């Protein structure tokens, strides 16, 4: 923050802070997205300081032309940013400028006239059913401490058995699951809540971890704990999966998130319909689910031919 006080005047800094608070309070963006927008706007202000030769003001923002934003994106690309990062950079700046424009402080036309970088098309790569089942099994866990091995198995089983994002699994509290439960209530992106069926194998994995965990698990506290008793961090699970890739010869695309891809893809292959999978994943758009599951036109035609009354 001290760095920002040097590169932007107090009024601009105050409006930037108000914009970030608005995104969190009104738009309810995820913590990950908020962090990215904070970082993107900070990088832009740092760039702008050198670009205009001094601390940025609202008047400077008002006078920016499309060429100025292109110069920022070119500088970021030179530093190694890819098309996805550049697209997010521009989206964050547009959001900030729209916020300032609504308050009558600037005109956002300059950023709006800049075309977003073309995004590469890439489909997620799920694990095979055998690979996914193995990763989530007790026998495959590599940690020598039994309770930690059981913890890792429970987390992987939740990702594959319920299609959770890793953050959703690690945000579960002790009272999120109880013996005999058949559904799991998940709060996902945008604070949207969904119900996910809870398979017996998932509940069994979690119960095994709870029975071995050396820490007292109080209601309302994080369910999954790190070695020292604090909330389990995603980086730990990601490193665990990295070790499993080496141990079992899994592809580089085998990540914790790939288990969520696998959940969706395997459901679809087993006859699940896209709308149901969309609900289970918590996607706002069906098109997101289609890409997520690697659905191609032939698969859609197959579903159409089987289900449409005039087919």
The helix/strand/coil state of 306 is helix
Catalytic residues: 165, 189, 257, 260, 283, 292
Same-domain pairing of 159 and 245? yes
Q: pLDDT tens string for the chain (311 positions)?
A: 444 446 678 899 999 999 999 888 877 777 888 888 899 899 999 998 888 888 888 888 888 888 888 898 898 888 888 887 888 888 888 889 889 988 988 877 777 677 766 755 555 578 888 999 999 999 999 999 999 999 999 999 999 988 898 999 999 999 988 777 888 888 887 778 888 888 899 999 999 999 999 999 999 999 999 999 999 999 999 999 999 998 999 988 899 988 988 888 888 777 776 777 777 777 766 666 666 666 545 555 565 566 655 54
Same-domain pairing of 140 and 52? no
CATH number at residue 46: 1.10.150.130
Domain that holds residue 193: 129-258
Same-domain pairing of 108 and 170? no
Q: Whose structure tokens read 């997205």?
A: 33
Question: Is 118 inside a domain boundary?
Answer: no
Same-domain pairing of 105 and 164? no
Q: Give the residue from 80, 112, 144 where a domain finishes.
A: 112
Same-domain pairing of 148 and 197? yes
For residue 50, the model assigns a pLDDT of 87
Same-domain pairing of 102 and 138? no
Same-domain pairing of 192 and 77? no
For residue 146, the model assigns a pLDDT of 96
**Alpha-carbon torsion 87, 18, 100, 192, what sign?**
positive
**Domains identified in the chain, total number:** 2
Q: Which long-range contacts (CB under 8 A, 24 or more apart) does 73-79 make?
A: 73/114, 73/117, 75/47, 76/43, 76/47
Question: Is 273 inside a domain boundary?
Answer: no
For residue 55, the model assigns a pLDDT of 86
For residue 310, the model assigns a pLDDT of 58
Question: Is 309 inside a domain boundary?
Answer: no
Model's pTM, two decimal places? 0.58
Same-domain pairing of 156 and 254? yes
Q: Give the residue from 228, 243, 258 where a domain finishes.
A: 258
Q: Which long-range contacts (CB under 8 A, 24 or more apart) does 299-308 make?
A: 299/268, 303/273, 303/274
Q: Whose structure tokens read 């997620």?
A: 124
- At residue 286's C-alpha, the angle toward residues 302 and 115, to 5°, is 120
Same-domain pairing of 93 and 194? no
Residue pair 161/280 in contact (Cβ under 8 Å)? The answer is no
Question: Is 64 inside a domain boundary?
Answer: yes
Same-domain pairing of 95 and 145? no
Question: Is 294 inside a domain boundary?
Answer: no
For residue 5, the model assigns a pLDDT of 45
Same-domain pairing of 19 and 78? yes
Distance CA 216, CA 289 (A): 39
């Amino acid at each position: 923050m001290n760095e920002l006080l040097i590169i932007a005047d107090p009024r601009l800094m105050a409006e930037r802070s108000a914009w970030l608070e608005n995104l969190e309070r009104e738009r309810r963006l995820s913590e990950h997205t908020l962090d990215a927008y904070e970082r993107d706007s900070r990088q832009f202000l740092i760039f702008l300081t050198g670009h205009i030769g001094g601390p940025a003001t609202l008047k400077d923002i008002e006078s920016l032309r499309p060429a100025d934003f292109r110069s920022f994106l070119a500088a970021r690309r030179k530093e190694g940013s890819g098309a996805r990062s550049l697209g997010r950079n521009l989206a964050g700046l547009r959001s900030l400028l729209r916020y300032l424009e609504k308050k009558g402080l600037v005109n956002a036309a300059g950023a709006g006239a800049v075309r977003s970088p073309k995004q590469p098309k890439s489909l997620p790569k799920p694990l095979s059913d055998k690979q996914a089942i193995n990763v989530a099994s007790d026998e495959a866990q590599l940690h020598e401490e039994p309770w930690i091995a059981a913890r890792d198995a429970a987390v992987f089983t939740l990702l594959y058995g319920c299609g959770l994002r890793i953050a959703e699994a690690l945000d579960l509290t002790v009272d999120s699951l109880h013996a005999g439960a058949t559904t799991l209530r998940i709060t996902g992106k945008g604070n949207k809540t969904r119900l996910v069926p809870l398979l017996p194998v998932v509940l069994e994995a979690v119960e095994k971890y709870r029975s071995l965990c050396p820490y007292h698990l109080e209601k309302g506290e994080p369910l999954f704990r790190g070695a020292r008793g604090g909330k389990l961090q995603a980086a730990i699970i990601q490193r665990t999966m990295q070790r499993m890739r080496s141990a079992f010869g899994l592809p580089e695309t085998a990540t914790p998130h790939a288990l969520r891809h696998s959940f969706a893809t395997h459901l679809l292959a087993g006859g699940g319909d896209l709308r149901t999978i969309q609900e289970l994943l918590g996607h706002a758009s069906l098109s997101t689910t289609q890409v997520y599951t690697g659905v191609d036109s032939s698969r859609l035609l197959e579903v159409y031919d089987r289900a449409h009354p005039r087919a």
